[in-house]
Structure 1
Amino acid sequence: MVHQTMSTSSNSAASASSRISSMFRVLFLAAIVGMLAACAAPPRYEPPPARVVPPGAPAATLPPADEAGPLPPARVQGKARWVPVRWSDLPGFADDALHEAWNAWIRSCERPSPAHAALCPEVRRLSIGAPEEQRAWLQQRLQPYRIEPLQGGEPLLTGYYEPMLEASRVPTATQQVPLYRPPADLNTRRPWYTRQEIDTSPAARAALRGREIAYVADPLDALSLQIQGSGRVRIAEPDGRVTMARLAYAGSNEQPYRSVGGWLLQQRALTDASWSGIKAWARANPQRTQEMLWSNPRVVFFREEPLSELDAAFGPRGAQGVPLTPGRSIAVEKDSVPYGTPMWLSTPGPLLALNRLVFAQDTGSAIVGAVRADYFVGWGLEAGEIAGRMKQPLALWVLWPR
């Protein structure tokens, strides 16, 4: 999956998804009050002091025996410097529910990085381990490195999600906005036609004729699907059946991505550049909606995939090639962090305060910088509201085999 910005049973996966959905309902209600505008620049984040283990604490909470030993040298990876640190430097390490992240790790082991492949048999065995065992194993087998940028750049965490849309296999009186498969000549013309040309050029329209997958009612919903790179659709078939499917990223016109929220801010048309703010502006200004859409020349094409019960418990496949796990998968700059790498993420909010184990399983054209991540929130309206408003400071650590 390229966007602009495992359990061993389906029952346990669905249970995890249910818990995540409940959490997001609570977080969503709390987040709407006093929300900072999405365009505000986040302050530089200094991680909180490490948690101090009190005398007499259980042995499972103590650092491993070699915590006081010499640290390995720093490493350079892409645009990042990896600086070795102690486990005690990771904020909230003793408090994360690691078992909730283990499904994402097992997914990563379907296509592991060469550096982490040897750990996968142990990862699978520990999927039923106690939290103390999982935590102790991490400390014994992995070395944390704090990520620092080599070329500056503001640390930033944003969010993304998977939209859920109603669609029709054929155009109707209310559903007339097409979602396309890649045109046959996509690789012979680079870049391909812009969004405006697709809407107005006879040649572009001819090239896309017969490539329609389904039709939705709102052009902003279609744009959201393209920005996120994937989505779930409930397609009404001509014979009355309903098909549940995932539309996955299959290519783009290779035009530059331009934020419609940024365009509206430049026009001084609004001050709330969240997705809900953009949709509210479009409803109030239908005569300018097309102009706003054309401000983003980039168009994404899709392929249709069946959506089984097990598939529905996870997100789309990220750039690593494995399904994303809500709350535990992130998109990173691939040159600075290899796909499949376990990482520690820390952010103080204001939308979500997080200290947790996550996995580098995706990337995106807007993910530029060593300390930059896009947090996969999940799917549906509530996840979309959170993802659309998430813009907050960030600290990241790579967890690398010793």
Structure 2
Amino acid sequence: MVHQMMKTKISSAPRASRARSSMAWWARGMVAVILGSLAACSSPPLQSPSPTPGSPASTPVPAAPSARSAQRWVAADWRDLPGWGSDDLLAAWPALLAGCQRPAPGWAEFCARAALQSPADPMEAAVLLMKHLRPWRLAADTGETTGLLTGYFEPQLAARRSRQGTFQWALHALPADPALRRTPRRDIDANPRFAALELAYVDDPFGLLQLQIQGSGRLAVRDAAGVERITRVAYAGHNDQPFQSVVRALLDRGEISDATPRTLAAWASRNPTRINDALAVNPRVVYFREEPLPDANIGPRGAQGVPLTPGRSVAVDRSVIALGTPLWLDSTEPLSTTPMRRLVMAQDTGSAIVGAVRADLFWGWGEEAALNASRTKQALRLWALLPQGVTP
């Protein structure tokens, strides 16, 4: 999840304010100039290497929209994109290039051009996008253009390699036996065949539940010598059981007042013998595979197979939006009316992410990312950017 989020110091506020003011001026004045100049300047098609059979580049360009998809994709103008020109497109460029590592059908030429023409500033990035891409407004089958934005993050939990003390909650690798793989949560601990699949043990049962919901995370593993090493656990599959919210059940029964980690930890401390029954409300279990983490600033790989970028990668419904598609996002900051308008990349999916105007924004890792993710539940409008000549 390549652009790292950093806390803003108070002393940097005047500079940030001047930057936003300058960018807003650029948005008001320069977009019209660029649009007017596009007709006067053009570049010849970039000759890309001949694709190998079966490669994404050799896949035929999608046909014209069907009646169903036409309701979701409406050709738009760059002027239709709220706040277009106000975003720092250079901050989004690493995510765009990452998506080009596995381009969607029809994207080979643009990706080759983007790799060769690295923009020097946001204006140059905007010109490149506007010359070679076209915006399409996304809408639901009903024609509704407003949907929902949520957020997710990469949790980090303390862990041990052996079950000890409070570290009693196991993460499991994916069973090779399909029948064993479908075991409900309640029955896993009692099945001795799962002992060989235990990757590590954590001391926070609700943290483990959050890790399974998010689908990937980091473990701070302390060995017998007291040395701590950060490793990543990535999604490997699940047990094909339906998902049920453990937290919602506790809220509905009035056992907790909110879903914060502190409240859940306090409930677990008061009810140690009831934790297993509480977790068993959700029969679904997510299995993991362990991966090295040579660079702590690189996010986990999403469904597209490329590292996710904090604030720039989103999970989408891949039946509507092809992975690797740039999107213009129009929403608000968490718990705020401040507009959040930016270029993001469709690089992940999620079982709860369904529909044309639906996205889950990856916030990164750490406490700030967790807080932003928990607070993200805002109205959303989306525009997809497709290469000229490519239709949805």
Question: Which residue matches 2:6?
Answer: 21
- Contact kept, 8 Å, 2:27 with 2:84, in 1: the verdict is no
Matched, 1:177 2:169: yes
In the alignment, the residues of structure 2 paired with residue 103 and residue 335 of structure 1 have an alpha-carbon distance, to the nearest angstrom, of 25
Which among 319, 331, 336 is matched to residue 315 of structure 2? 331
Letter in 1 for 2:330: S
1:122 equivalent among 96, 103, 113:
113
- 1:198 partnered with 2:188: yes
Q: TM-score of the superposition, structure 1-length normalised?
A: 0.79
C-alpha contact (below 8 Å) 2:171/2:201 kept by paired residues: yes
**CA distance in 2: counterparts of 1:338 and 1:22, whole angstroms:** 32
Aligned counterparts of 2:286 and 2:164: Cα–Cα separation in 1: 23
1:163 is matched with 155
Question: What are structure 2's unaligned runs of at least 5 residues?
Answer: 11-23, 40-63
- 3-state DSSP of counterpart to 1:127: coil
The residue type paired with residue 305 of structure 2 is: G
Which amino acid in 2 is paired with 1:327?
A: G
Instruction: State the Cα distance separating 1:265 from its structure 2 match.
Output: 3.3
Question: Which residue is equivalent to 1:101?
Answer: 92
Deviation at 1:96, TM superposition (A): 0.1
Distance 1:283 1:396 in 2: 43
Task: Give unpaired runs (5+ residues) of structure 1.
Answer: 1-5, 7-12, 27-50, 68-72
TM-score, length-scaled by structure 2: 0.80
1:113 aligns with 2:118: no
| CA offset digits 1:127-175 (Å, max 9, x no partner) | 3422111111111111111100015787111111001111111122121
> Which residue of structure 1 aligns with residue 326 of structure 2?
342
Aligned equivalents of 2:68, 2:114: Cα separation in 1: 25
Q: How does 1:389-400 map to 2 (within 5 A)?
A: 389-400=375-386
Give distance in 2, aligned partners of 1:79 and 1:188: 41
> CA 1:109–1:209 in 2, change beyond 3 Å: closer, same or farther?
same
Query: Structure 1 residue 145 and structure 2 residue 136: aligned?
Result: yes
Letter in 2 for 1:21: M
In structure 1, distance between residues paired with 2:170 and 2:26:
57
Corresponding position: 1:261 with 2:247: yes
Q: Which moved more, 1:212-221 or 1:277-286?
A: 277-286
Query: In the TM superposition, what is the alpha-carbon distance from 1:81 to its structure 2 partner?
Result: 1.0
| Map of 2:50 onto structure 1 | none
Q: Which residue of 1 aligns with 2:125?
A: 134
Amino acid of the structure 2 residue aligned with 1:113? A
Which residue number corresponds to residue 41 of structure 1?
none
Give, as a single letter, the amino acid of the residue that structure 2 aligns with 1:162. E
Summarize the Cα distance change of 1:369–1:282 in structure 2 as closer, same or farther, 3 Å threshold. farther
State the secondary structure of the residue aligned to 1:336: coil
d(CA) in 1 for partners of 2:67 and 2:116? 32
CA contact (8 A) 1:275 1:388 kept: no
**CA–CA separation in structure 2 for the residues paired with 1:261 and 1:52:** 46
1:262 and 1:215 mapped to 2: Cα distance? 25
1:240-275 alpha-carbon deviations (Å, 9 max, x no partner): 543321101111111111122322333243453455
Kept after mapping to 2: 8 A contact 1:74/1:81: no
Greater relative CO (CA pairs within 8 A, separation 6+): 1
Q: d(CA) in 2 for partners of 1:74 and 1:342?
A: 19
TM-aligned CA distance change 1:90 to 1:283, over 3 Å: farther
Q: Is the 8 A contact 1:155 1:372 kept in 2?
A: yes
2:289 pairs with 1:303: yes
Mapped contact 2:330–2:340 kept (Cα < 8 A): yes
Aligned counterparts of 2:227 and 2:352: Cα–Cα separation in 1: 38
- Aligned-partner SS, 2:300: coil
Query: Which letter maps to 1:249?
Result: Y
Identity, in percent, stands at: 45
